[in-house]
Structures are given as C-alpha cells and as structure tokens.
Amino acid sequence: MPEFPDIIVYIEALEKRVLGVELKHIRIASPFLLRTAFPPLSSVEGKVVKEIQRLGKRICFGFDKDLWLVLHLMIAGRLHWYDDRAKASKSRGLAVFEFANGSLVLTEAGTQKRASLHLVEGTDGLAKLNPGGLEVFETNLAEFTAALQQRNHTLKRALTDPRIFSGIGNAYSDEILFQAQLSPVALTQKLTPEEVRRLYGAVKTSLTDWVERLRKEYGERFPEKVTAFRPDMATHGKYKEPCPRCGNKIQRIRYAANETNYCPHCQTNGKLLADRALSQLLKKDWPRSQEELESLLRDKT
C-alpha cells in the first residue's frame, strides 16, 4: 500500500501536472470504485484543480465550490500519467481522469478491487473520510506520546493504525522500528520515556529520508513502479538477508497477507519472535533464538 512517502511524491508529481488545469472528463470502468452518489462526478468535470492534499493515505483533489475528489489506492492501486490520451485510452484502468494536458489512469493489480473514489463537499465531507490519526510532522513529543500510549497495543499495530498515526503502513513501520531499535511486539504502555523519544525521532527521520530518496529516484518523471519492497530498505521484505547494521539474518512474523520484518540482534535482544505459520506446528518446541531456529531447520532437511 502506498504510504506517506509514496503519497507525498505522487502529490508533488500531480501538482506539477494538473494544478490549475481543467479536468475535462472522468471515465469509470469499475462500478465498485465510486463510493458516493452525490454530488455526481459530472459536478467536477470542466472545473480546474485548485488544490491537492493528503488525507492519511488518500489523495484529495480540490475544486471550486469546495468539492473534493478523494482517491484511496489501498493495497494494489497505482497511478499512471499519459501525455498522450490515445495511450491512456488503451490502458486497462479502473478509471481515467482526462485533463486538458493529459490523462491520469488508476490501475489496480489482483482480483480484489479495494481502491475507492469519493466526491464530497467541504471540510465536513473530508472529515468523514479522515480516520483521525495524528500527523507526526505537526505534533510534539508530548502529543506523540499521548497518542502512542492511549491504549496498550504492540508497536507494530500502533504505528500502522490510521486512527492513531496518519500515513504509516506495513512497510515503513518496519523501517521505523529498525531505526529506533525497538521490537515490533513491544507494548506501547511499557516503553520507557527514552524509547518513546527514540521512536518519535525515528518516525520523522525515516519518513523524511524516504521522501527524499523517492524524490531523487523519480526526479521529474511521474512515479511509476511504486512498491513496498525497495532494494535499499533495511528490513522490510529482507527475510533471511543480512542486517545492514549487525550482519545477522533478518527474520519475520507472518500474519494474514502481511509480514513484519525485524532484526533479532538489533531489535529483540536476540529473541526470535513466534511466527504463527511455524509456531502452530512446533508449539512448545518453538526456538528461542535465531541459532536454535537454524539448527532446527538443518535437522529437518
């Protein structure tokens, strides 16, 4: 799922292309994409884009009469820009937004279509789509601490909950926790003030760093191939690869369609966190360290 850094570079690329430009027509290929019936989409056709902003992981296009077109890419949604309308018309997108100077195409991989499009009026309409998470770049340490420790969640859950923090998801939470050298399963209300301070700094530093990296990678080009798995990430998607800090192998916790990646040496004091897929089979024999796990796997081969 595109997260804070990805959404920021998307918005910056869109501002260069469609800010102050007329949206001529919207073509919707999937009836499941549009989640609102009023105002009708025709309300913004022929209108100029006045503003583009982020709302959590959503991209919001502002028009006259305080109308907002709000796009949520969810897990597999991606945006593509075509200067040539003929090429855009040939794409298999869920939606095509035809501007006076080109076309923006929304695609979504896979069979589960979760991306959504809303057209709402005013700040009240936007507020209904806002999960309410804290904007970390608009807060101080005390406010961050209060939001983090309001409930006793694991750090991974707290960072990725859009009702607690805005714009952070599965990929960048792994990078943040690695930078802060904190366990993904540490409980928020048991963190020391120093650990909270370290996490607060890591959130800002990591997100800022990745925004700059993506800006440099794309340059003036429209962001294509936006992915949660990048070669220069420290832990996310790096299972069994060496930790860039200590050289030990990165481990993972798998759940549903997601996984959490971490370094046992740097983040969990050498403790191997239980992976449900294996621990259900091994139960009490679940290894307590990386060395025990590797020994167990060797014995079974």
The pLDDT of 7-35, averaged and rounded, is 95
Predicted confidence band of residue 276 (pLDDT cuts 50, 70, 90) = low
For the ranges 9-18, 86-95, 103-112, 273-282, the lowest mean pLDDT is seen at 273-282
The DSSP 8-state label assigned to residue 248 in this structure reads P
Note whether 126 and 68 are within 8 A (CB): yes
Return the CATH number of the domain spanning residue range 4-127.
3.20.190.10
The pLDDT, as a whole number, for residue 182 is 98
pLDDT of residue 275: 66
| The architecture CATH gives domain 136-294 | Orthogonal Bundle (1.10)
From the number of C-beta atoms within 10 Å of its C-beta (0-12, 13-18, 19+), residue 74 rates as: middle
Query: What average pLDDT does the segment 11-31 reach?
Result: 95
pLDDT in tens, 55-77: 999 999 999 999 999 999 998 99
Band (287; pLDDT cuts 50, 70, 90): very low
- Judge whether residue 281 has pLDDT over 60: no
Mean pLDDT, all residues of the chain: 90
d(CA 259, CA 301) in angstroms, rounded, equals: 24
In the structure, what pLDDT confidence band is assigned to residue 113 with cuts at 50, 70 and 90?
confident
Do residues 60 and 72 make contact, with C-beta atoms less than 8 angstroms apart?
Answer: no
Spell out the alpha helix ranges (H) of the chain. Answer: 4-18, 85-90, 122-127, 141-148, 155-160, 170-180, 193-218, 264-267, 276-282, 290-300
Q: What is the mean pLDDT of residues 152-176?
A: 96
Mean local confidence (pLDDT), 169-183? 97
For the segment 263-286, the average pLDDT, to the nearest whole number, is: 71
- Taking the domains of the chain in order of start, what are their residue ranges? 4-127, 136-294
Same topology between domain 4-127 and domain 136-294: no
pLDDT digits (tens, 9 = 90+) for 210-266: 999 999 999 999 999 898 899 999 999 999 999 999 999 999 998 766 789 999 999
Q: Does pTM top 0.85 for this prediction?
A: yes
